[in-house]
Amino acid sequence: MKEKLSAVFIIILFCSFTAFNILSTNRKTVLNVITPVMLEIDLNNNHTVDDGETVCLPRTKSYTSNLVEYKDEIKGLPFQKGLAVGYLADEFTHKLLDGKEVKIKETGNFLPQCKIAEIYLDNRKYSDILKESGFGIANGKPANELKFKEILAKAENLKLVIYNHKSGKYHKPECKYGRIAHDAVVLSVRDLPESSSPCKFCHITKTKSGKKHKTEKFSVPPPNIITNGSIKIILTDFTKILKPDKNCNHTACREFVSLIDNSNASIDIALYGWTDIPKVRTSLENAMKRGVNIRVIYDTKTTSGNYYPDTEIFVKRFAQRRSDKIEGNNTLTNSLMHNKFAIFDNQKVFTGSMNFSHTGFSGFNQNSIIIVNSKAAAEIYTKEFNQMFGGKFHTLKEKTPNEILTLIDGSRIIIGFSPQDKVINEKLVPLVNSAKHSIYMPAFLITHKPLTNALITAHHRGVDVKIILDATSTTTRHSTMYLLRQSGIPVKVENFAGKMHSKVVIIDDKYVVTGSTNFSNSGENKNDENMIIIENPKIAKFYSDFFKYLWKKIPDKYLKFNPPAESKYSIGSCSDGIDNDYDGKIDSADSGCSQREN
């Protein structure tokens, strides 16, 4: 009898596990809301929107403020009022579905732009939720008339404009120039970037003298470079440069070339990837001709042509080169040599978050570059370089002495390297835990759980925590963005063509933590990275002011919603010649940029 009961129990467990597994694998993540009835869903679980992953609800219509999908004939409302209702409908859907897991039941039917499928949220039909909310339309009118009256009352108080990302102009909803713009979105007036300006045809007022004038909005950027004796920091402003180039006109590139040209004995370069920049390449070639000893370390994966196809050709110029490939150990080889630093004459260190690429050197991506003029700092970086050049990459490396360097200008710095030094847990988290006033983070991504918990704890004890993340990180596996937002921390997602590529924390206007280390498990425990902690109030205040400038440039709308990295919502992304969301499509070839038929 006991044997039969045991067998039954095992069968029940097996069935339960199988059912759970089926349910789990059937769950898909909503990556983007186009309209309340048209969603981009990660059907193949690769965290990227691919062909065939746009899903439309069957037999369901809705209001929307998406100007491409807006259809007057199904609204039954004047354009301006219909747009306001659509804006609220889009907000409702974003809040309900952005980043959420849903179940999909395909109908087998298709439209030119999407496949038709039922969507289930917590075992409820999303189409039913939409209709009950008052935003769904049935038989040409609101499915829930009572809720719709409440929505109309709320819509009356909205102050909306049509904002053209390309021109930076904003229009009144009734303005014909707003509706015909190809790169336009509907925004609340309070969400307009400070650099925006009114359309001169629809935002004209008269002075008492009867002369017409228009009111401009200005946003003066703070300085993006500071020199404090032993340390120079350069910050790139991706709100100003919407297309990368290889001309080496940006300060970041000119500074790098100057360091090369003024080197007399040695240059050691640790690079994740390389894009050919003629002036940089020529400077390095000239340095070799005058007898400068150049050594290069690079990541194995970047030579495969995926992201940095120029790397392999570039490194062949140097007799002394070494990739991070570990023969017979694929696990270690698959970790990244993610550093981006160079050491000049064993005296100056050029480091930070910037890859040695055209998107980095041109200022297209938002990066932090640090130049440290210190023999002691250069020695620490050289020891790390020598470990890797000798074949010790990743977990094979030895720990770095945890010493504080006091520089000539009075700055105190601590340098650490991943993965041996556990830089996030042992250096950054304690600083976050000690924060008293403010923590500002311009970061590519955050997935590191202990750091996330420390940030939440700091917020709960009254510290002003603000975070800006890159648009591509919102769908990153293990992203803690939603957890941070749910905990009450303001998290903005940037809406510019370039990447928010910094890996920075500014604490109490006293400390700046920067380097190549992404705030992730891989950045902490697998990849070769460097992190530098600078204790200097002047430098920290400089970076804090720059963060606040970026914060104001990003509309408050993106505290709640996530602009797709390659779409009309990300300024310049549809005309920059870059695959911003890594889906293999560029500009108009990407579904986020292409215009749909009305």
Cα 34 to the chain's mean position, in Å? 19
- The DSSP 8-state label assigned to residue 556 in this structure reads G
**Rounded CA separation 187/159 (Å):** 9
Catalytic residue from among 503, 510, 557, 585? 503
**How far, in Å, are 76, 156, 203, 306, 595 from residue 173 at the CA level?**
17, 13, 11, 43, 20
Coil, helix or strand at residue 394: helix
Closest CA to 514 of 547, 479, 492: 547
DSSP H stretches of helix in 157-240: 176-179
Q: What is the DSSP string of 454-472?
A: HHHHHHHTT-EEEEEE-GG
Is residue 161 within 8 A of residue 173, CB to CB? The reply is yes
Residues 6 or more apart whose Cβ sits within 8 Å of residue 154: 88
Residues 6 or more apart whose Cβ sits within 8 Å of residue 406: 412
With the C-alpha atoms ordered 497, 501, 505, 511, is the resulting torsion angle positive or negative?
negative
Catalytic residue from among 75, 250, 492, 501? 501
Q: Is residue 292 exposed (0-12), middle (13-18) or buried (19+ Cβ within 10 Å)?
A: middle
Residues 6 or more apart whose Cβ sits within 8 Å of residue 131: 60, 138, 143, 144
User: Residue 371 is inside which H or E element, if any?
Assistant: strand 368-373
Beta-bridge mates of residue 356? 274
Q: Is residue 113 exposed (0-12), middle (13-18) or buried (19+ Cβ within 10 Å)?
A: middle
Catalytic residue from among 245, 345, 409, 508? 508
Residue 154 is among the residues annotated as catalytic for this protein: no
Is residue 355 within 8 A of residue 361, CB to CB? The reply is no
Residue 338 is among the residues annotated as catalytic for this protein: no
Residue 212 is among the residues annotated as catalytic for this protein: no
Q: Which residues form the catalytic set?
A: 501, 503, 508
